[in-house]
Amino acid sequence: MTAQTSPLVLTPNAKIVLDRRYLKKDAQGQVIEKPEDMFRRVARVVASADALYGREDQIPNSEELFFQVMTQLEFLPNSPTLMNAGRSLGQLSACFVLPVEDSIDSIFEAIKQTAIIHKSGGGTGFSFSRIRPEKDMVKSTHGISSGPISFMTVFDVATETIKQGGTRRGANMGLLRVDHPDIEKFIEAKLQTDRLNNFNISVLIPDLFMEALENKQEYYLINPHSGLKTRSVSAQAIFNKIVDSAWRSGEPGVVFIDRINRDNPTPHLGPIEATNPCGEQPLLPYESCNLGSINLARMIKKGEIDYKRLINLIHTAIHFLDNVIDVNKYPLPKIEKMSKGNRKIGLGVMGFADMLIQLNIPYDSPQAVEIAEKVMSTIEDESRRASEKLAGERGNFPNFEGSVFDQPDQKISGMRNATTTTIAPTGTISIIAGASSGIEPLFAVSYYRTVLDGTQMVEVNPFFKKMAKERGFYSPQLMEQIAREGSIRNIPEIPEDVKVLFATSHDISPSSHIKIQSAFQKHTDNAVSKTINFPHEATPEDIEKAYLMAYHQGCKGVTIYRYGSRETQVLNLTKSTDSSKISPRSRPTRTLGITERISTGCGKLYVTINSDEKGICEVFAQMGKTGGCASSQIEATGRLISLALRSGVSLPSILKQISGIRCPSPTWGNGHQVLSCSDAIARVIINYTQTKIEDEERVMGSCPDCGGQVVHENGCLTCHSCGFSRCS
């Protein structure tokens, strides 16, 4: 039995995340489990699968080895495994894909199955491409179809209703083929910010579309129900819509579906049509996948990559993930059958940026691309060797016959898992590991962390802090300045080579982001979760170039984010600016206005809007008989809105700040989803004034759970303070 060589050392953020979301709690919500107990619980349950293959004698060694790699923060499985292994729920998979056929029965069966999966802690992906277009004839009822986007809204409402005990919240990926007749409406669906808030959306793009685009040709939209061509459209015009919507809101992403299906390991079972919520895991209908990540930051020894240690860890991780398939409690029998039939697993990485820093290699350099390819090719090769070895001991995955591995030109004896590698988001598990997220650059060198009493503390990247002290330019004041600025590029006292080494996501060009994604994709069975960051001043043409570059460099999908274009700023960083003091104009003696009632999760809210000769001058609200904190907060919101209005702040700017703020009890009011009382006030103002929010944005401003900074990476919004993730 292998003994643990070092105690578990966790950062303050890791402890907060574990307490809030992972560790066992009693009926009063008090934590009753230590982090070491959690890792022991997971190791024991996962190791127990060895008994299924006649290796009961191996269980103690497996348990200790699994416990060791987790407590040394070298490898961590996806969040549901950490949360649920050894507990009554027992659902250990992160991602699922469900089929949606063109019938009411199929659609509402998928909604029911989605609710079951979300309740168990998983996320779901769907292709809505089989649903007939809007206004198409439905012969059985002599009516017309409402189309895929309207049914997506039903899925969205169902997802909002499912609460997962405060640990994980269901997320969805909605996909539609670019040749579906409703594609234009789908592309712009997320520009309307009052719906589909539980969906990421992506357009499925086949090679034929890309050929039409490059040749400046038209292509046909095809009714999936009849198989008939409905009309021809310009590929460039549709692509421009995708680019423009992504420029404005960050969505839709694009998925190169033919490239994904060329790598489909089991084509005899059917084509892949959908992915999980962050796009890195293409799956067949009813498949699930179990993911885990190696912490590359821990693979450095004396300034070099310790490949021997890495290889040993890969084999342990593949053993671990294959065992998870057997001890998992699946939410649906069909999912269990498909998951055990193909036994897909996805081993990926986190801490890539930390690894590069320790190697003194800038993220946006040719050397970083070389390291990415070398490291991931090692993981690819060794994970397949490990799976081949397990196949010799335990047998091939049941659907092996007819798979791409069951071909005469294959030089393998067998394969235990249809896929072995995936680059997944590692939002919360990277916080637990104290590592940079996935293959992303640093999100900040120094930032403010909001602690439980509401105060803010400066959090500094440990590698930067160490280097700053060693080279003599460290000071608390400098760390505060960096936290305010976000980037260190414009701070004169920091040496130039340090500025280059500690590049953050917005210091790096989109082309450098894509080169890293492409390097990892070359050696990944499934796909790569990565965000391509753009500065606020980027143009739609810049985004178009990035999409084309990603396609030509072999990426399977692209997620972009232009700074400031979405509901949450990538970094909650503030820059001090000089401004003259503004005094509000006096409130007139008499005003004219309206009062509107709107439903919120807390009750009926009465919102009054008053105007003078210069326009709206005040807004106030009252909620029934509510008193105490809720009443005072509503009053404060109204007072501040009124103050801003009489001080000359534009109405769209005010609406951007109060619209989209989410409370624990969202509801539906006046035909729209109402996320909170402030969101309700914004909705009433919008209805009354017909004002559109500038760029259709909603600004949340900070994490809805802890008020900390929210970062857009891996195609999702994640808080590095408490582990909140919009995708889980």
Is the separation of the CB atoms in 551 and 210 below 8 Å? yes
DSSP 8-state secondary structure symbol assigned to residue 131: S
Q: What is the pLDDT of residues 298-352, one digit of tens each?
A: 999 999 999 999 999 999 999 999 999 999 999 999 999 999 999 999 999 999 9
What are the extents of the domains in the chain? 36-92+291-426, 99-275, 431-570, 592-696
Question: Is the predicted pLDDT of residue 667 greater than 80, yes or no?
Answer: no
Q: What is the pLDDT of residues 641-654, one digit of tens each?
A: 988 888 878 787 78
Query: Is 278 annotated as catalytic?
Result: yes
Structure tokens given for 199:
């969906």
Is the separation of the CB atoms in 536 and 393 below 8 Å? no
Angle at the Cα of 428 (from 358 to 724), degrees rounded to 5?
135
Q: What is the pLDDT of residues 15-60, one digit of tens each?
A: 999 998 899 999 998 999 999 999 999 999 999 999 999 999 999 9
Query: Is 74 annotated as catalytic?
Result: no
Nearest to 293 by CA among 78, 486, 6, 611: 78
Q: Report the percentage of the chain scoring pLDDT > 70.
A: 89
Mean pLDDT of 63-74: 98
Beta-bridged to residue 15, according to DSSP, are: none
344 vs 275: CA distance, rounded Å: 13
342 vs 284: CA distance, rounded Å: 10
Angle at the Cα of 208 (from 203 to 211), degrees rounded to 5?
105
Is the separation of the CB atoms in 621 and 606 below 8 Å? yes
Is the separation of the CB atoms in 662 and 678 below 8 Å? no
Mean pLDDT for the chain?
A: 88
Q: What is the pLDDT of residue 250?
A: 92
Is the separation of the CB atoms in 713 and 440 below 8 Å? yes
Pairing of strands 345-350, 288-295: parallel
Identity at 282, one-letter amino acid code: P
The active-site residue, picked from 273, 280, 382, 567, is: 280
Question: Is the predicted pLDDT of residue 246 greater than 90, yes or no?
Answer: yes
The secondary element (H helix, E strand) that includes residue 609 is strand 603-612
Is the separation of the CB atoms in 283 and 335 below 8 Å? no
Beta-bridged to residue 616, according to DSSP, are: 611
Fold assignment, 36-92+291-426: Anaerobic Ribonucleotide-triphosphate Reductase Large Chain (3.20.70)
358 vs 361: CA distance, rounded Å: 8
Q: What is the pLDDT of residue 195?
A: 79
554 vs 522: CA distance, rounded Å: 7
Most distant CA pair in the chain, distance: 89
The active-site residue, picked from 276, 290, 399, 572, is: 276
Question: Is the predicted pLDDT of residue 627 greater than 70, yes or no?
Answer: no
Helix intervals (H) in 266-365 = 307-327, 333-342, 352-358
User: Omega of the bond prior to 252 within 30 degrees of 0, cis?
Assistant: yes
CB atoms within 10 A of CB 192: 12
Indicate the SS3 state at residue 567: coil
Identity at 215, one-letter amino acid code: N
The active-site residue, picked from 78, 200, 273, 278, is: 278
Task: Report how many helices (DSSP H) and strands (DSSP E) the chain contains, helices first.
Answer: 23, 27
Q: What is the pLDDT of residue 451?
A: 61
Q: CATH topology of 36-92+291-426 equal to that of 99-275?
A: yes
Quickly list DSSP for 223-268: -TTT--EEEEEEHHHHHHHHHHHHHHHS--EEEEHHHHHHT-S-GG
630 vs 602: CA distance, rounded Å: 9
Angle at the Cα of 201 (from 196 to 207), degrees rounded to 5?
155
**Could you report how far apart the first and last alpha carbons of the chain are, in Å?**
36
Pairing of strands 199-205, 218-222: unpaired
Banded pLDDT at 197 (limits 50, 70, 90): confident
Banded pLDDT at 693 (limits 50, 70, 90): very low
Query: Is 276 annotated as catalytic?
Result: yes
Q: What is the pLDDT of residues 548-602, one digit of tens each?
A: 999 999 999 999 999 877 643 333 334 434 444 566 777 777 788 888 888 887 7
676 vs 637: CA distance, rounded Å: 12
Mean pLDDT of 182-203: 90
Q: Indicate the burial class of 195 (C-beta count within 10 angstroms; 0-12, 13-18, 19 or more).
A: middle
Nearest to 75 by CA among 430, 520, 326: 430
713 vs 710: CA distance, rounded Å: 9
485 vs 490: CA distance, rounded Å: 9
Taking phi over 0 as left and psi of -120 to 50 as alpha, with beta for the rest, 592 belongs to beta
Is the separation of the CB atoms in 129 and 221 below 8 Å? no
Is the separation of the CB atoms in 722 and 702 below 8 Å? no
Structure tokens given for 693:
């929010």
- CATH architecture assigned to 99-275: Alpha-Beta Barrel (3.20)
Structure tokens given for 63:
């348990």
171 vs 122: CA distance, rounded Å: 8
Nearest to 248 by CA among 648, 611, 695, 727: 695
The secondary element (H helix, E strand) that includes residue 32 is none
Identify the residue whose tokens are 């997944």: 424
Nearest to 555 by CA among 257, 223, 227: 257
132 vs 670: CA distance, rounded Å: 29
Nearest to 315 by CA among 381, 371, 402, 266: 381
Nearest to 456 by CA among 720, 717, 708: 708
CA distances (Å), 479 to each of 459, 474, 475, 612, 693, in order?
A: 8, 8, 6, 47, 35
54 vs 51: CA distance, rounded Å: 5
Q: What is the pLDDT of residue 574?
A: 40
Q: What is the pLDDT of residue 119?
A: 85
10 vs 434: CA distance, rounded Å: 7
Indicate the SS3 state at residue 711: strand
Measure CA 14 to chain center: 19
CB atoms within 10 A of CB 3: 6
